A and B are shown apart, each in its own frame.
Chain A
Amino acid sequence: MELNELEKRMKAGEMGKAKQVCLRVQLKLGEAFGASRFVPISRAHLSGYNRFSGGAKIDFAKKIVGLGGNLEVPTTTNPTGRDISRWREFRVPEAFSKRCSELEEAYLELGAIPTWTCTPYSYSGIPVKGEQVAFAESNAIAFVNSVIGAKTERYGDLFEVCSAITGRVPYFGMHLEVNRTPGVLIKVKDIYPYSFSDNILFCLLGYEVGKICGSEIPLIEGINSGVVREQLKNFSAAVAASGGVGLYHIKGVTPDIKSKELTRNYRDSGKVYSITGKDLQKRHRELKSVESGKLDLVLLGCPHFSSSEFMRLNELLYNREISPGVEFWVQTNREEYYLIKEMGILSRLLSAGIKISTDTCMFNWPMDNWDFERVVTDSAKFAHYAPNELGVRTSLLDLESCVQAAVTGRCKG
């Protein structure tokens, strides 16, 4: 890789040991993936803490802090392993909570913006089309690449920390325009019984596209306009979880679509697939493992719930209460929490029996102090990971059905 003057100095250690170590990791990766040089980034988003991060993540963060590291660009943070103010209420083990705070403090020492959310693209931190960034969090990577048209690679956690410290990334993969063209054409047809106004449609579509693509870049046709951000958020989470998709194009929706020639190429290469309502129903059945019985938990907010989603939930819960014995958790970030508090929605939801967390995700902390068996969710990403991660039976349902189950306290098989 060709280094500019600044990078040569960084490599030689003239800009401090922290930058030297981080650049070294980036150089080796860049060379392994054929990057000819570095490209500067304008912002970054750091992965947070979870129970599988264990000591390694803290070791690395502390090493960088110890070497005098500082972040070169505005840098937001992904969920940590606890709701920082309410971790006791969510029965996060105390020792684990302490470990989370070690990583949180290390990030703050480096100069991070403490958003603790998996939807850093929902407000001021949002990149614009064409911005070169280094993001962790698979749903956020898919979202900023596809819906915004910013440019990040699908980095492994901690590489984005290195990037934020050096202020640059190896110029490879999806940072280059030429690597962002689709390799697979997917036609969405006849989606009955779902409709484009259903959020769950986008969970299932994302899930199905991920299964078809693996890590290929799809071009998706047949989705009407009128798609809203929340649907693309859910699509991004599902497609990145079921496959390894870091970038997708939806004709008429996402900004990065090129010309009609692309469509012709797929027909010629044979990489054309279709998705129908029957395919989606089949996937939906795969994501339903809850049998009839007492409902233990409703989980919403994977990715973090937005204020408009809270408004919809509030409508559905009007004059209704969660059945005692059912936990109903909604995951969000501090910004949305503040807004719904101002709107008066927060107090209504809390009095209906809902628990709202900020800063975290249920996948991030050990569930030793809870005994959940049957969980329903409106998130395909959650339904996909939960059975293995949490040892629970999980069913993906539309929001209305989640609320209905919570109010009756029962699951139908």
Chain B
Amino acid sequence: MIDKRFDSNYLVSGESNGELLFTHTPISFWGSFDPETGEIIDTRSDLFGENVSGRVLAFPEGIGSSTASVVLLESVRNSTHPLGIINVKPDPIIVTGALLAKELYQVDVPVVTLRAGDFKKLEGCKNVSLDSTKGEVVASVDKK
């Protein structure tokens, strides 16, 4: 395994490590995601049917309804939440959900942004480590 390290901006602090679930398309937590099961339910998404629980979810930006923050919060309540979120464009709606999760349920869901070029390099990586104290994202790739 080789590691790729990326400088990153942590919008919500925390530490986690897990399998990467990556997409190039924006995600709307309201409408595309079921917080009861953790599944992506949007038939238009290339992650349709995938479960985010226990995985680090990477997508370029959030779109759609302001309800996304509460859907994320609900998934924390149900323990179906992603271990962390990686975006290119910072989204205050997603950040709100993660901050409320800390306050209400004392659960950390780190939210971090990468430069667009670095975000693309995540594709194909297996595992991702998030650590806000170090300010970086580390992705592991199988060595070929």
Contact = CB atoms under 8 A, between A and B. Distances in A.
Interface of A: 21, 24-25, 28-29, 32-33, 47, 50, 52-57, 59-60, 63, 136-138, 141, 153-159, 173, 214-215, 240-241, 243-244, 385, 387-389
B113 to A, nearest CB: 10
B96 A138 contact: no
Interface string B82-110: 00000001101111110110011000000
A154 B92 contact: yes
Contact of A389 (B31, B100, B104): B31
A214 B99 contact: no
B26 interface: yes
Contacts of A137: 66
A24 B99 CA distance: 9
A389 B64 CA distance: 13
Given A54-B35, A155-B93, A136 B77 contact: no
15 contacts: A21-B103, A53-B70, A54-B74, A56-B73, A56-B77, A56-B104, A63-B104, A141-B66, A156-B66, A156-B94, A156-B97, A157-B67, A214-B61, A215-B89, A241-B65
Nearest to A26: B99
3 nearest interchain CB pairs? A156-B69, A156-B96, A156-B93
A25 B74 contact: no
Contacts of B12: 28, 32
B32 interface: yes
B95 A29 contact: yes
A24 B12 CA distance: 13
Nearest to A50: B67
B30 A173 contact: no
A60 B67 contact: no
Nearest to A140: B66
Nearest to B29: A52
B38 interface: no
Contacts of B44: 388
Contacts of B69: 156-159
A52 B30 contact: yes
A96 to B, nearest CB: 14
A25 B96 contact: yes
Contacts of A24: 103
Given A60-B104, A173-B92, A215-B63, A52 B77 contact: no
A388 B73 contact: no
A32 B97 contact: no
Contact of A244 (B36, B62, B90): B62
B71 interface: yes
Nearest to A387: B43
A387 B42 CA distance: 9
- Which of A63, A153, A158, A240 has the most B CB atoms < 10 Å from its CB? A158
Contacts of B99: 25, 28-29
Contact of A215 (B31, B61, B71): B61
Given A156-B94, A385-B31, A52 B42 contact: no
B121 to A, nearest CB: 22
A158 B105 CA distance: 15
Contact of B74 (A55, A138, A153, A240): A55
Contact of A388 (B32, B36, B71): B32
A214 B66 contact: no
Given A47-B66, A138-B66, A157-B67, 20 more contacts: A25-B103, A29-B95, A32-B11, A52-B71, A53-B67, A54-B36, A56-B104, A57-B73, A137-B66, A138-B64, A154-B93, A155-B66, A155-B93, A156-B96, A157-B96, A158-B70, A159-B69, A215-B63, A215-B89, A388-B41
